[in-house]
Amino acid sequence: MTQKELLYIEDAIGHESNIIAICEDIISKLENMDLVNFLESEVKKHKSMKKKLMNMLEVKCDEWSNFND
């Protein structure tokens, strides 16, 4: 994986974190349970995507660590 690709993944993780924070903030202000339920499902999706991206970085870090040993 190139440095540019790693930077892209780090940027994507940041975007996912921002989306999660925005959705959670909106959820705290909503009264309509249909909207709350919808946004909660979106938060779940974005947390899952963030975890996948973080796992990709972790795998790369492990590969580099093993390479440098």
Map residue 27 onto helix, strand or coil: helix
Write the pLDDT tens digit of every residue in 52-65.
Answer: 999 998 887 777 66
pTM: 0.85
Measuring CA to CA, which residue among 65, 66, 60, 64 is closest to residue 6?
60
Range of the domain at 30: 3-68
Question: What is the pLDDT tens value at each position of the chain, 69 positions in all?
Answer: 788 888 999 999 999 999 999 999 999 999 999 999 999 999 999 999 999 999 998 887 777 666 665
Instruction: For the chain, state the CA radius of gyration.
Output: 16
Q: How many domains does the chain have?
A: 1
pLDDT on residue 69: 59
